[in-house]
Amino acid sequence: MQASEVEKLVLDQYPELDVVVETDGYHYQLRAIGEVFAGLNKVKRQQLIYGCLNKHIADGTIHAVIMQTFTPEEWQTQNA
């Protein structure tokens, strides 16, 4: 599965997110930025993203996902 396909899976459910995915074909690194994460802890944020990808994780198409999730404010602070 291409990185762009993983991005589309997430954006289909959360079009307001800014999503970037990189892959070697099986392992994916995903960064998502959006207000949808406001007030959620790290586990809840990851559950939102895994909800978009679970079918492909279960069937082995996606082997592993490393993700970072940020609100826009968190992203701005981290990159200031």
Residue 79 domain flag: no
Q: What is the percent of the chain with per-residue pLDDT over 70, rounded to a whole number? A: 100
Nearest CA to 74 out of 35, 19, 44 is that of: 35
Q: Is residue 59 in some structural domain?
A: yes
pLDDT (tens digit per residue) in 40-53: 999 999 999 999 99
Query: How many domains are contained in the chain?
Result: 1
The CATH number given to whatever domain includes residue 58 is 3.30.300.90
Please give the residue range of the domain that contains residue 9. 3-74
The three-state secondary structure class of 50 is helix
Q: Is residue 70 within 8 Å of 59, Cβ to Cβ?
A: no
Q: Is the dihedral of CA 22, 48, 60, 63 positive or negative?
A: positive
State the pTM of this model: 0.90
